[in-house]
Amino acid sequence: AMIAGVSLFIGVTSCSQTNPRQKDQTTVPAEFTISKEKLMDKIKGGWAGQTIGCTYGGPTEFKYNGTMIQEYVPIVWPDGYIKWWYENVPGLYDDVYMDLTFVDVFDRLGLDAPVDSFAMAFATAGYTLWHANQSARYNILQGIMPPASGHWLNNPHADDLDYQIEADYVRTDVAGYAEYGFRDF
C-alpha cells in the first residue's frame, strides 16, 4: 500500500510540473479545424457509445433505485450482447430511436426546423415510448403541443429525465455549431 501511495504521489506531482517551453494548454484557440472524416468518426463514436450505454444499463435499469451500483456487482458483457438486447428488448433503446427521429427532422427540415415538426415526428412514430415521452405523445395527439405537452399540469411525468437523455442528438449532430448550442430548441 505504501509503494502504491508513493507511486501515486510521484505520478501526480510529476504530471503537475510545467515545462516553461511548453505551450499553454488552458488557452482555447479562436478557431479549431477538424477533417470531415475525423468529425464523422467522432459522431459515429458518440452514437456507438449511446447504444453501448443503453445495452450496459439494460440488466440494471430500475433495480438500484436510490443507490449506486456497488463495485462488487458484476455486469456481464458476452459476445453478441448488443444484438441480443436489441432483438429481445428493443424498447431499451428508446434513447437512441427518439434521437434518430429528431435527427431525421434535422435532415429533412434543417437546423431551424420548427418545434411542431419534432413533436409530430415522435408523436406519430410507431415505436414504444415510456413515461414523459408517452404522456407527451398522448398530449400532442390530443392537440396539446409543446411546450404545454410536457408541462407538469399536462404531463404527470414532467420531472422525468427523458428529454435530457434524448437531447444527445443536438450535442452529437450539431457539434461545432456553437450558435445552436445555446438555443432553446
Query: Cα(175)–Cα(185) distance, rounded to whole angstroms?
Result: 15
pLDDT digit string (tens) for 106-126? 999 998 899 999 999 999 999
pLDDT at 140: 98
Mean pLDDT of 59-76: 90
Phi, psi of 41 (to 5 degrees): -60, -40
pLDDT at 27: 79
Domain with 162 in it? 34-181
Does residue 165 sit within a domain? yes
Does residue 24 sit within a domain? no
Query: Cα(28)–Cα(31) distance, rounded to whole angstroms?
Result: 8
pLDDT at 20: 52
What average pLDDT does the chain have?
82
Count up the domains in the chain and report the number: 1
pLDDT at 25: 66
Q: Is the pTM of this model over 0.95?
A: no
Mean pLDDT of 134-143: 97
pLDDT digit string (tens) for 5-31? 334 333 444 444 455 555 666 777 778
pLDDT at 1: 42
- Taking a C-beta distance cutoff of 8 angstroms, is the pair 55, 85 a contact? yes
